[in-house]
Structure 1
Amino acid sequence: MSSAQSGTPTLDAAKKTGFATSSGLELDEMTGSHVAGHIDLGPQHHTPWGIVHGGVYTTAIESAASVGASAAVRGRGMVAVGLTNTTHFLRSLTSGTVFVDAVPVNQGRTQQLWRVDIADDEGRLIAHGEVRLQNVEAPPR
């Protein structure tokens, strides 16, 4: 399920990768200029205090930025790997669906910067993050 252009994953392949999938992130759209997805939150995402763990949001932010940035450089036989992830937690939740929306701020030859927002089903911003990524040669698959 890799792209014929290189070893970078397609949307279908990205939807089936282990770590992000285990967090509940479902990708609905993936291009080199926009990534959208959602997570149906439940008890499996809770801290011992009954609220959603911040790592769920951090994982979604890193994953959305990485697949979008990789899609942007797929035609060059490259993938993008995270250098920094800054996540701001703005509201706590216990359940519901959150929506992940990622867009590039800058897409350079060697690095990219992506902005990712996570909102609840009422449109309230729950978490916000930025991920800086390095464009590197895709590993053989």
Structure 2
Amino acid sequence: MDFEKALIKINQVSKNTLMETLGIEYTEIGENYLVATMPVNSRVHQPLGILHGGATVALAESVGSAASFLFVNSNDFVVKGIEISANHLKSKTEGVVTAKATIVHKGRTTHLWQVAITDEDGALISLCKITNIVIPK
């Protein structure tokens, strides 16, 4: 896989979607992982002025689903999220969070990803798990 082309592709297909609305940008890809960033500002705050858990989960699902999409033949298969869980460990008011989805299980029909969301100092903000189903077109 050409990692640079894959990043360009996944950022292009995110135009005019929730990912663009939240400012999510895919920044790095490797053999078994995908990384994305999201700015923390008033667009992703809850009323107390901190990062909304739903925005965090949207980031986790976006990077975990995109990772599965990149690691299957998209001409033959569709990827859909079927379960996600999140543990929010630390609040954040501003800056940038980084989500790294790492494959835990890559089966023929299901993928399990662990998504660690950290701040600029590497502190763990949330730890998420997403299961995707891989369906033939």
State the TM-score bracket (shorter-chain normalisation).
Answer: 0.7 to 0.9
Q: How does 1:11-26 map to 2 (within 5 A)?
A: 11-26=10-25
- C-alpha distance in structure 1 between counterparts of 2:58 and 2:31, whole Å: 19
Within a 5 Å distance, the mapping from 1:73-112 to structure 2 comes to 73-74=72-73, 77-112=76-111
Q: Distance in 2 between matches of 1:32 and 1:74?
A: 15
TM-score normalised to the size of structure 1? 0.84
Q: Distance in 2 between matches of 1:32 and 1:83?
A: 23
* Structure 1, unpaired ranges of 5+: 1-8
- Aligned position for 1:55: 54
What's the TM-score, normalizing by structure 2? 0.86
Q: Which residue of 2 aligns with 1:33?
A: 32
Q: Find the aligned partners of 1:93 and 1:78 in 2 and give their Cα distance.
A: 37
The whole-number CA distance in structure 1 between the counterparts of 2:16 and 2:77 is 18
Q: 1:31/1:122 Cα in 2 relative to 1: closer, same or farther (>3 Å)? A: closer
Aligned partners of 1:32, 1:136: CA distance in 2, in Å?
22
Q: 1:27-58 deviations in whole A, cap 9, x for unaligned? A: 11346621111111111211111111111110
Q: Residues 11 and 25 of structure 2 are in contact (CA less than 8 Å); yes or no, is this contact kept in structure 1?
A: no
**Contact kept? 1:25, 1:37, Cα under 8 Å:** yes
1:119 maps to what in 2?
118
Question: Alpha-carbon deviations, 1:91-141, whole Å to 9, x = none?
Answer: 011101111111110000111101101000010000110101100134xxx
Q: Compute the RMSD of aligned alpha carbons.
A: 1.9
CA contact (8 A) 2:109 2:133 kept: yes
